[in-house]
Structure 1
Amino acid sequence: MNETVTIPRADYEALVEASELLADLQAHDTARSALATGAEELLPTHVANRLIDGDNPLRVYREHRGLTQVALSEASGVNRVQIADIESGRKTGSVTTLRKLADALSVGLDDLVP
């Protein structure tokens, strides 16, 4: 049996608006929680702008973390020359290599893919 409820349009629109507001609040709470647990991080504007402008993400995150290529090499187990080649665009790096670098930089693998 189908039950139908008829309400004035203004009441319906108020319910839709309240539903959208609730969804926004839930998204906000999810984002705040991800920041609080360290699952997500905020980037300074200059770092975000470099990524948006197309700078090599490996170089941007390495410099943001305050690491030299040598320090990143030691932390990741990836040869420094490989890091230099990836940063310069001469090579792309294998998934395994990028995973090691991402782990050492505490970023997601997708963050290192231009």
Structure 2
Amino acid sequence: MSEIQKLTIDGKGYVLLSEEDYEDLIDGLEAHAIMARIAAGEETWPMEVVEARVRGENSVRVYRNYRKLTASELAAAAGISQPYLSDIENGKKTGSVAVLKRIAKVLKVDLDDLVPDVAED
């Protein structure tokens, strides 16, 4: 950490620090906030889940495998047929919003986690 200067301008106290120190301070505050959310029970994803999603693997399949569910188990819990789930996982069908919501609920993820990013116009 470099030198920190205290200044008074118009009777008000200020602190002058380097941009690098400022960025370190902000990074520390953000890390503290993240750790607090994790300590409060927010789920984090293991690297293999993140990497699979980055590679473009089907999110439903990635989360189903992470939750250690068979396709039959997920389909039954979501109230759909196993072939329909298979079509969603293989990209042959997108699945209705209602079905994807049910799948997301069973997988304990947000609906946004299952839907690929779409570029906005």
The alignment's TM-score, normalised by the length of structure 2, stands at 0.72
Maintained 8 Å contact 1:86/1:92: yes
RMSD over aligned Cα atoms: 2.3
- CA deviations over 1:43-102 (Å, ceiling 9, x no partner): 2x3222221111111111101111111111222223322211110101111111111111
More strand by share: 2
- Unpaired segments ≥5 residues, structure 1: none
Match of 2:71 among 69, 72, 77: 69
Residue matched to 1:5? 9
Distance 1:56 1:21 in 2: 36
- Unpaired segments ≥5 residues, structure 2: 1-7, 117-121
Report how many residues are paired. Answer: 105
> Aligned pair 1:80/2:95, yes or no?
no
More helix by share: 1
> Aligned pair 1:33/2:43, yes or no?
no
Maintained 8 Å contact 1:51/1:57: yes
Which stretches of structure 1, 4 residues or longer, exceed 3 Å deviation after superposition?
A: 15-22
Structure number with greater CO (CA < 8 Å, separation at least 6) is 1
The alignment's TM-score, normalised by the length of structure 1, stands at 0.76
